[in-house]
A and B are shown apart, each in its own frame.
Chain A
């Protein structure tokens, strides 16, 4: 964000605690000190209001980054995201672009219970006019936020609170000020031959762990990091399934009408269907509001063992 704020003076950040508090999760640390009140704006607790203000500013030619402290609170403002931002370019037949980024942590955290743990990938991914991205590691986070800010469309960036504290090695190329991860392109994190495992956000890490365990048993998983929910890179998934003949999808959100459901439907509609040796299998969050007690919470999100189990089921092992 710092690099993009420096690069283009129309970019600014607003949200609760983004300025003087350095960000609720310290994501915007140091930015207010560097850029001041004009570019880094603390808002009152008024999601619908400040999301609307951000969209209006984007309509008038600025490039706002609107932070939701978590995407759970975006529900207060969802009308502004969908009706004011996402649909406007279409309704105006191309006269009125809305170059805005909505970002913040999404999905389950740890012990924050039902109202603070929902995953919004499926909800936002449903809507034409929006782009929705979901980074897993540091390279994703950096490259996607830069692409999102430079994109002239409304982009929803679904981050993950538990990933904020995880360190990754950043490759040389990713350290450049112009490093971008293209929106709409998935990445094969680990090539494999026996089964395609598709995921987004934090569960990508769990899939890689599962792949490491299974590798010892002679099962080579191809792990795909979606990076973008919408527009979905189904081609990369199809090409992989046509090679491996098996598919498991993994997500943190609820199963019904989720990301895995969409992938499964699209695989059935495309060339990869005829290459499937078994039905696609979905690993998801449990179909309950997130419970608080640790044992319950742990079993409400996909664990590595659940992914391994699903992979073996798909492979009929």
Chain B
């Protein structure tokens, strides 16, 4: 008890001091790692699947926690800013799906590639951009990762190809990136994500065919959150076994709320591709707490009870927290400390995103062409001209 009080007071003191310093909860001895059982994946055209147990180190656990919490809070902050009309247009949030973006990243290398659709803020973060530049892009400011030119659906980073607005179009793109990986011969893979709604797009089947034909190192990933906008999977798909829809492509169905499950499945899938066996398909069963976008309250096509049930039984952050705390990998206080730091990071980022000025009007015409000398771009009438620089 005394130890706990000491720890708690240290946390409180810590919060009042410089935010960047981690207050060490030095008196506790934590386990270095723990072994966990994870759910067996359903398999399609595979003899074996990912392992059913995995080791989580304290260090990894804390990192995953911090990352998931950051994505969670960042999305909630975006919700807030949207309601204040500081963010406008499209805003598709991924709270509830944190185990997907963090788990996938945990299963690959920074030199691997990833492309997704428009519910992309989480991936933008896990692929290496800061909350600051993401929020500033959402608010359309010059400090945004695309200088305010792209917005919510068009954020890019190294080996991260967005952020794509046209449902399904990113899937052939991802297969093309995988083609480049094979062409370059560097054992890199491309994670190509799409949702349960997009899964019915014809171009995805064209991509499956070519990826399999040419043995491209492409991991097709269906992030199945049960609803394509307002249409439940049962109303959209003749077969909701998305992991089997690749037909001749082996597939696995993964518990997308369990970050360890996602991580292990990703490692398994990546190994499959790196071994030159061609593409593989992963269905991540997950859930979004928000509606399709900020214009959708999300309760006309599903019940509040359903949302609440997922929150209380399957929340990815809660699942990781419970595992870590119950297995001596972290303390509740320690995790709360991380929460405080994350909250501050998000708050600072939101301040910046709100205060940073919009991009200068003079730059409206920039970035039409790459590597070209400057030229003029026409404005709303023939007398309005904008300079265009690459």
Contacts and interface: CB of A to CB of B under 8 A. Distances in A.
Contact of B209 (A41, A49, A61, A80): A49
Nearest to A12: B183
A91 B146 contact: yes
Contacts of A58: 176
Nearest 9 interchain pairs by C-beta: A56-B176, A52-B172, A49-B206, A60-B180, A56-B173, A46-B206, A53-B176, A97-B370, A93-B147
8 contacts: A52-B207, A56-B177, A57-B179, A62-B183, A80-B173, A84-B169, A95-B146, A129-B369
Interface of B: 113, 115, 146-150, 154, 156, 161-162, 164-166, 169, 171-181, 183-184, 190, 202-203, 206-207, 209-210, 213-214, 366-372, 375, 377, 382, 390
A152 interface: yes
Contacts of B178: 56
Contacts of B169: 52, 79-80, 83-84
Contact of B150 (A49, A60, A91): A91
A92 B154 contact: yes
Given A44-B210, A57-B183, A49 B172 contact: yes
A90 B367 contact: yes
A241 interface: no
B248 to A, nearest CB: 13
Contacts of B368: 89-90, 128-129
A165 interface: no
Given A44-B210, A84-B169, A91-B154, 12 more contacts: A48-B172, A49-B203, A57-B179, A90-B368, A91-B150, A92-B367, A93-B149, A94-B370, A97-B370, A152-B371, A153-B370, A231-B375
Given A57-B176, A60-B180, A61-B180, A92 B146 contact: yes
Contacts of A129: 368-369
A89 B369 contact: yes
B111 to A, nearest CB: 12
A129 B390 CA distance: 11
Contacts of B213: 44
- Of listed B115, B165, B173, residue having the most chain A CB within 10 A: B173
A53 B180 CA distance: 9
Contacts of A95: 146, 156
Interface in A28-59: 38, 41, 43-44, 46, 48-59
B176 A93 contact: no
B188 to A, nearest CB: 9
A74 B295 CA distance: 34
A96 interface: yes
Bin chain A's interface residue count.
Answer: 35 or more
Nearest to A41: B214
B387 to A, nearest CB: 14
Contacts of B162: 88, 91-92, 96
Contacts, number: 145
A169 interface: no
Given A43-B210, A53-B175, A83 B180 contact: no
A96 B156 contact: yes
Contacts of A152: 369-371
Contacts of A46: 203, 206, 209-210
Contacts of A90: 149, 367-368
Contacts of A93: 146-150, 366-367
Contacts of A89: 367-370
A146 to B, nearest CB: 16
Contact of B172 (A12, A50, A151): A50
A97 B147 CA distance: 16
A217 interface: no
A172 interface: no
A92 B357 CA distance: 18
A38 B184 CA distance: 11
B166 A79 contact: yes
B371 A52 contact: no
A55 B146 contact: no
A49 B172 CA distance: 5
- Of listed A44, A54, A91, residue having the most chain B CB within 10 A: A91
B173 A59 contact: yes
B161 A56 contact: yes
Contacts of B203: 46, 48-49, 52
A46 B206 CA distance: 6
A58 B147 CA distance: 23
A131 interface: yes
B377 to A, nearest CB: 7
Nearest to B377: A128
Contacts of A49: 172, 175, 203, 206-207, 209-210
